């Protein structure tokens, strides 16, 4: 499973990238706002750092304007994935971008029917939002499973990019289901290393080591 980092924080991306934990990056207007930087500038910096796909999102809502914005974003770097919303206009733009050979990430997916349309339109990635479904008392990971079954039935090439990841359990569940990619905030990815028994075991080892009176260095 590939790890994409859901942030526009360059320092956080670099830390994970140096450990080999970054296969790509996803951004959106909210993350650009949080970073407080120019979208073109920060996206270019991320693309220079990360070799995998970097999603940059259009903000227009009409297909013609989406296409114009997307083409400008695509000029930032060869590894840009143009991000469009799962609307009819977004699907129209997706088809146009895919026809030109650009990677496309279709976002804000909340149903299997939407995911089918995105695959038919040539999306490189479909981004189902797990956490936001959980927020309305639906099992978000069930959507990942439904899409996996459908895509495998028809050998769709669109990669399932599980988004709106809120917890380590979300990541593990997506891995078991067979999501191609997860995108998560840096803090959630780093939390995967944490376990109470690891902390407890390390504490015991260190106490015992101190009793030996020895030093390694």
Query: Which residue is catalytic, options 14, 83, 190, 207?
Result: 83
Question: HEC states along the chain?
Answer: CEEEEECCCHHHHHHHHHCCCCCEEECCHHHHHHHCCCHHHHHHHHHHHCCCCEEEECCCCCHHHHHHHHHHHHCCCCCEEEEEECCHHHHHHHHHHHHCCCEEEEEEECCHHHHHHHHHCCCCEEEEEHHHHHHCCCCHHHHHHHHHHHHHHHCCCCEEEEECCCCHHHHHHHHHHCCCEEEECHHHHHHCCCCHHHHHHHHHHHHHHHHHCCCCC
176 is catalytic: no
Q: Which residues participate in catalysis according to the annotation? A: 83
């Amino acid at each position: 499973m590939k790890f994409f980092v859901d942030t526009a924080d360059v320092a956080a991306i670099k830390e994970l990238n140096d450990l080999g934990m970054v296969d790509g990056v996803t951004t959106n207007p909210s993350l650009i706002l949080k970073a407080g930087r120019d979208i073109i500038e920060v996206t270019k910096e991320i693309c220079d750092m990360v070799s995998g796909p970097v999603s940059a999102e259009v903000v227009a809502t009409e297909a013609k304007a989406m296409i114009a914005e997307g083409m400008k974003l695509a000029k930032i770097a060869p590894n840009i994935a143009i991000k469009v919303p799962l609307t009819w206009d977004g699907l129209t733009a997706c088809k146009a971008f895919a026809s030109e050979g650009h990677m496309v990430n279709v976002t804000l997916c909340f149903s299997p029917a939407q995911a089918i349309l995105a695959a038919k339109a040539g999306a490189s990635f479909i981004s189902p939002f797990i956490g936001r479904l959980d927020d309305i008392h639906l099992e978000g990971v069930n959507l990942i499973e439904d899409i996996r079954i459908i895509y495998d039935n028809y050998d769709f090439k669109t990669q399932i990019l599980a988004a709106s990841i809120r917890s380590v359990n979300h990541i593990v569940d997506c891995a078991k289901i067979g999501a191609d990619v997860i995108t998560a905030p840096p803090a959630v990815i780093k939390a995967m290393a944490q376990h109470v028994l690891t902390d407890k075991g390390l504490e015991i080892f260190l106490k015992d080591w101190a009793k030996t009176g020895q030093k390694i260095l």
